[in-house]
A and B are shown apart, each in its own frame.
Chain A
Amino acid sequence: MPSQARGAADSDRGGPEPLSPGRRAEVLRQSLSVGIATGAYGISFGALSVAAGLSVLQTQALSALMFTGGSQFAFVGVVAAGGAGSAAIATATLLGIRNGLYGLQVTTWLGARGLRRAAAAQLTIDESTAVGMVQPEPSGRRLGFWTTGLAVFVFWNAATLLGAIVGNALGDPKQWGLDAAAAAAFLGLLWPRLRSGEAAGVAAAAALVAVLVAPHAPAGIPVIVASLVAVVVGLAPRRTGVAT
């Protein structure tokens, strides 16, 4: 079976080649700007979370312990809609599966063990994986992953606290359009993934299924039912024999 052997072929195991000072500064600059840009919308997460009824401490616990933005937004979205805790957990967990897939790649760059590996796992998110992945050399990949992961962690948590405190002071969330901010936030996470017709079709079908199921099921369940669209389309035989 023709697989993506090209992308997977890693020559990572070479000796430790230190980065040149110029490359080092470049990777650090990238990491820091991604950390600040991503961290900043922790403000919207913090505000939405307290508007959904979580305490400031619960909100902060999600940013520190769950630490994966999409799942955090999903968790508070289900809670805000009055969904059961189990539905919130299931939705957040399904959305976090991709981090496990990133881990498969990241672990080949780091070769970390024990506590270091646990720390690397906690920092395995979209941004740290993406910045690591674009570096041409193994040492650049390691530096990019660690510094981006740490930068996002610090800024995301600081911004969450700010958003939670500000959000608590705002009062009625609807008056400030915070429910619509959540819709815009999900769209912003979805948008970069809609690169193919298949992706757009899955998105449209899943949205339709969720809206159709919503009046007949407790909050949180429609989203989980809609996730079956991905399973059905993903497992369906391709219409033509052309490999991807």
Chain B
Amino acid sequence: MSLWTAVLLASAAAFATKYAGHVVPGHWLEGPRISRVMALMPIALLAALDAVQTVAGPGGRPVVDSRLAALVVAAVALRVRAPYIVVVIAGAATAAGLRALGLP
């Protein structure tokens, strides 16, 4: 699949999901278990994405490098309620700084 195909298909799926919410009868997604799964889904996905982004190295094997230090700095920034853009820049700056010092 070309990258363009993936971009357009994923965009179509995103719109279809949003549109579905506006047209399906509300009671379809009621019920405590379904709503719990829906509430937990973004948490599981974001945590998994973050873990892979932070520690996966060549072949998917875990490696410890500047990304982990950057994540810790980002967590501290979030803890002190820094704005989102500051959190992202702090993460990038930490990794860039450590790599400039010769660390992986």
Give the interface of A toward B (CB within 8 A): 1, 3, 37, 40-41, 43-44, 53-54, 58, 61-62, 65-68, 70-71, 73-75, 77, 79, 81, 84-86, 88-89, 91-104, 106-108, 112, 117-118, 120-122, 124, 174-191, 193-194, 198-199, 202-211, 214-217, 219, 222-223, 226-231, 233-235, 243-244
Report if B47 contacts A (CB, 8 A): yes
| A210 closest partner in B (C-beta) | B48
CB within 8 Å for A100 and B18 given contacts A190-B46, A235-B37, A244-B32: yes
With the chains together, A103 CA to B7 CA distance in Å?
A: 23
A-B contact sample (19 more), CB < 8 A, given A65-B15, A233-B36: A3-B30, A37-B83, A53-B3, A58-B4, A74-B49, A77-B49, A81-B53, A94-B41, A183-B54, A183-B91, A184-B74, A186-B46, A187-B75, A207-B50, A208-B51, A210-B48, A223-B45, A223-B48, A226-B45
CB A5 to nearest CB in B, in angstroms, measures: 11
Secondary structure at chain B's binding surface: helix, strand, loop or mixed? Answer: helix
For chain B, the bracket of interface size reads 35 or more
Instruction: Render B57-83 as a binary contact track against A, CB cut-off 8 A, 1 for contact.
Output: 001111000110011011101100001
- With most chain B CB atoms within 10 A of its CB, the pick from A178, A191, A209, A231 is A191
With both chains docked as a complex, state the minimum distance between the C-beta of A131 and any C-beta of chain B, in angstroms.
Answer: 16
Taking a contact as CB atoms closer than 8 A, the residue among A53, A79, A124, A176 that contacts B21 in the complex is: A124
Contact B38 A97 (CB under 8 A): yes
Interface residues of B in 24-50 (CB under 8 A from A): 24, 26, 29-30, 32-34, 36-50
- CB-based nearest B residue for A95: B45
A127 to B26, CA, bound (A): 21
Asked if B101 is at the interface of the complex by the 8 Å CB criterion, the answer is: no
Contact A190 B50 (CB under 8 A): yes
Are the C-beta atoms of A81 and B14 separated by less than 8 Å? no
Which of B10, B44, B52, B87 contacts A188, CB < 8 Å? B87
